Amino acid sequence: MQPKPLAELTPLQQRLHTLIWQCLDLELVQSAVFYAERYLSLDSDNHDARHLYGTALLRSGQPYSSLCVVNVPKERACPGCAELKAKCYSELGQHRQAREALDETIMDPEYTRTASAWSRLVPHTFPDEATLRCRAGTSAMKGSQHDRAAQLFRESLQLNPMIWEAFEGLCALGKAPEIDQVFPQRPMPVKRTQAEDIPPAPTMPIATGAGFFTPDTNSNPNGWPHWKGGFGPPHPFRMGPPAGPRDSIATNDSSFYPENSFHQINRPIRPLPTTTHLQPPSSPAPGVPGIARPLSSADETGPVQKKLRHTGRADLTKKAGKSNEEPPPPPKKARSRAGSIMANILPGRQLQPTSRTTKTAAQTINPPPAPTRRSTRLLTGANKPTAKTTAARIRRPPTQHARTRSVESGADESDHAGPPAQSPSSPRSDSSPGPVVWTQAQEQAAQEAYDMECADFELYSLMRRFARATRALARYDCLTCLAALDELPHVHQQSPWVLAMVGKAHYERQDYAAAQRAFTAVRTLEPYRLWDMEMYSSLLWNIRNAQELSFLAQELLNINPHAPQGWLAAGNLFSLQRDRPKALTCFRRAFQLDPSCAYAYTLSGQELLDEDADRAINFFQSALRVDARHYNAWYGLGTCYMRMSKIRMAEFHFRKAVEINPKNAVLLGCLGMAVERRNDRAGGLKLFNEAVELQPDNALVRYRRAKIYIAMRRYEDAISDLEFLRNTSPEEANVVFQLAKAYRLAGDDVKALHMVAVARDIAPKSVNRIRKLLELNRDDDADNRMDEG
């Protein structure tokens, strides 16, 4: 199977094709992977998209995933797939398989270079300023210079908002701007239907030789800052300029327009005389005004073929019978419409049916009132034309015009409606422009330009949705993230990147069942994926699925033993089996391979939380030095200080965790517990209410709130929460004891004794707690403190 030629791709596919190669050439690998996945999601049967996605994965250090993408059945494979397979095998050190894949390509008689294998016009180029700033921001972020990294990422996005790595970097730092600041709203593209209806330059950023796009410091079309729209001349780093008779539809290049187009470059306008008019070739008698030429259709169809010379100024002065003062002559190449207008306005002035080419320009000064319409021969008394005019007629034969209107109709229109209004956008020239002709080539160019603008608009709208979802997840606004992902087209919703985001959003909401379904779908689509698998292993640890966690750890270590994700999964497995030393060994191996892996330090601290609080604090602090927004480390520090009875320190670290992730009910519950421990029950109850509102089925939060209700003697509210917990967790002994206590303090001894009997069945060894509960009086619990049960 041969891939589609580049010319047969849709405009959106052409845009993505060029954008992916730009990212690869400028070593923006994460952006290339992101756009290549979008390209493959649009058309999974497109080999060009498959090759580009495989190339991007290979460049990002994922040879197994790249091999999985291009390893299609033989009847569906193409030479490009075999060539890329050879690269993957070579990267994995499997040289025999690489040679066999290359032999398949060599022996293929129909081998042709695929679209994704075509070399760019400039394969090696220096990066532009936006790319340099993005790289500098990445280096600053890895060096814990977070403020500097955020500034560089913002500057990179201002120069080029299509660099996805810069936007993800800002999200990781928790300083992502509003979506409308990076991706402002754009109007829908409008197709051009007439030559004079030239739309303004498109606002979609277009690639240039310096990088992706060229910033414009002079214009700001449609509210997109720092961008220069329009399709420029062909360049190796431009995103597929549309074919057509010109390079741009927004420049002043007049080669695109027809000869008589209204959009030609304006020429200098000659001054028009205000008292000139045209005379017939036969000389009128002195004192008789000249006849004005009507405004015929020839004025609108273009210039006349030949220029007529006018009568000498001396003869005109004699015929007019006026003083020797001569008026300024009219321009040689200008057609005076003002004279025609003045001639039609004067009363009694009529037009004669004379040919356009036999009229000669003349000028009169202070003409007398015009007589009734008569022949000039009757007025002059001459029955024959003069020798001078006869000779002129012999030397200049008349020229016929097919589109010349009748003089009578022109006179009627002049008397009633005046000359037709000229378009304000049409420039004045030596002659009036001809009719606009919408040729087939112009129609094709307009259609191609419109298709490209639609492709740009679709890609731009898609980027806005992905950016909104990414920013919401970085702010741990999981519901907003899921809503934004639901707005994506269905083909993109089934991609591994989107499904991984769905899994992470459900995991942060502690909806473990939905998160597991999403991560299982990711593993089905991309079985060799390493990204985001550390979160999947933590999910399996939380649901106590040791079998699946063991299988995941073995597979990840087989794919890449030098990646931290496999060692984190193995450490979670040993932690689930309560083998603490081996778990710590795996976590230590993970941050040795990747010192920027904050999650490895955090998991190490959580393993030591019950055993050595001081070492756990050191691990949590190391995690925060790598990633200051790692809220799990702040939560771990708060827990350590809480167990050390340092309430103020615990409250401080819990608040820092809540600032990063304000939608986490567990963090709010821990903060509420710390606030209540310093005798601020009202503040603690407020935090617990927020936590229950965010996650009503969270058992820990409801249990803590019930204990605060008991301490505040709000027994009915406490009983309501405890009954809810007993229905969801009937075998939980602490819930039963607290419920019996609430009934006892509320004065309902029958239900209290019933709950005591249930507690005796569930926990028969809790004899001391049962005896204290039976001895409890309402007055004795007036100053009840929160117990640790």
Tell me: domain 697-789, CATH 1.25.40.10, correct? Answer: yes
Residue 90 has φ and ψ, to the nearest 5°, of -65, -40
pLDDT at residue 744 above 90?
A: no
User: What token pair was written down for 286?
Assistant: 């002195």
> Percentage of the chain with pLDDT > 90?
42
Choose the weakest-confidence range: 22-36, 228-242, 270-284, 606-620: 228-242
Contact between 599 and 631 under an 8 Å Cβ cutoff? The reply is no
Identify any residues that bridge with 360 across adjacent strands, giving them in sequence order: 279
Residue that the structure tokens 């004899």 belong to: 767
pLDDT at 761: 85
pLDDT at 636: 95
CATH topology identical between 6-117 and 697-789: yes
Average pLDDT of the chain to the nearest whole number: 74
pLDDT at residue 669 above 50?
A: yes
Q: Which residues contact 644 (CB under 8 A, 6 or more apart)?
A: 613
Average pLDDT over residues 60-88: 88
Contact between 70 and 49 under an 8 Å Cβ cutoff? The reply is no
> 448 pLDDT band (50/70/90 cuts)?
confident
pLDDT at residue 588 above 80?
A: yes
The Cα–Cα gap between 630 and 646 comes to 22
pLDDT at 769: 79
For residue 256, give Cα distances in angstroms to 198, 252, 396, 440, 500.
11, 9, 37, 13, 49
For residue 484, give Cα distances in angstroms to 184, 469, 471, 497, 694.
17, 5, 10, 14, 19
Residue 361 has φ and ψ, to the nearest 5°, of -70, 135
pTM value > 0.75: no
Choose the weakest-confidence range: 259-268, 505-514, 631-640: 259-268
Residue that the structure tokens 């790319």 belong to: 131
The Cα–Cα gap between 190 and 192 comes to 6
> 768 pLDDT band (50/70/90 cuts)?
confident
Residue that the structure tokens 């060692």 belong to: 567
> Percentage of the chain with pLDDT > 70?
64
pLDDT at 6: 64
pLDDT at residue 567 above 90?
A: yes
Choose the weakest-confidence range: 196-200, 254-258, 460-464, 591-595: 254-258
> 258 pLDDT band (50/70/90 cuts)?
very low
Instruction: Determine the residue type at 224.
Output: W
DSSP 269: P
Residue 454 has φ and ψ, to the nearest 5°, of -65, -40
pLDDT at residue 106 above 90?
A: no
pLDDT at 210: 38
Chain segment 323-360, per-residue pLDDT in tens? 444 445 544 444 444 444 333 433 444 444 444 433 44
pLDDT at 747: 84
Chain segment 128-159, per-residue pLDDT in tens? 899 999 999 999 998 888 899 999 999 999 99
Chain segment 490-546, per-residue pLDDT in tens? 999 999 999 999 999 999 999 999 999 999 999 999 999 999 999 999 999 999 999
pLDDT at residue 405 above 60?
A: no
The Cα–Cα gap between 528 and 539 comes to 18
Contact between 434 and 426 under an 8 Å Cβ cutoff? The reply is no
- Burial of 710: CB neighbours in 10 Å, binned 0-12, 13-18, 19+: buried
Element spanning 276, H or E: strand 276-279
Residue that wins the pLDDT comparison between 551 and 375: 551
pLDDT at residue 620 above 50?
A: yes
> 622 pLDDT band (50/70/90 cuts)?
very high
pLDDT at residue 569 above 70?
A: yes
pLDDT at residue 432 above 90?
A: no
pLDDT at 673: 92
Strands 276-279 and 360-363: antiparallel
> 435 pLDDT band (50/70/90 cuts)?
low
Domain spans in the chain, listed from the N-terminal domain onward:
6-117, 129-251+442-486, 276-416, 697-789
pLDDT at 749: 84
> 783 pLDDT band (50/70/90 cuts)?
very low
Percentages helix, strand, coil for the chain, rounded to the nearest 5?
55, 0, 40
pLDDT at residue 75 above 60?
A: yes
pLDDT at residue 551 above 90?
A: yes
pLDDT at residue 439 above 70?
A: yes
Instruction: Determine the residue type at 215.
Output: P
- According to CATH, the superfamily of the domain at 6-117 is Tetratricopeptide repeat domain (1.25.40.10)
pLDDT at residue 206 above 80?
A: no
Contact between 313 and 371 under an 8 Å Cβ cutoff? The reply is no
Residue 572's nearest CA partner among 534, 532, 517 is: 534
> 244 pLDDT band (50/70/90 cuts)?
very low
Residue that wins the pLDDT comparison between 80 and 116: 80
pLDDT at 554: 96
> 445 pLDDT band (50/70/90 cuts)?
confident
pLDDT at 557: 95
User: What token pair was written down for 76?
Assistant: 């569906």
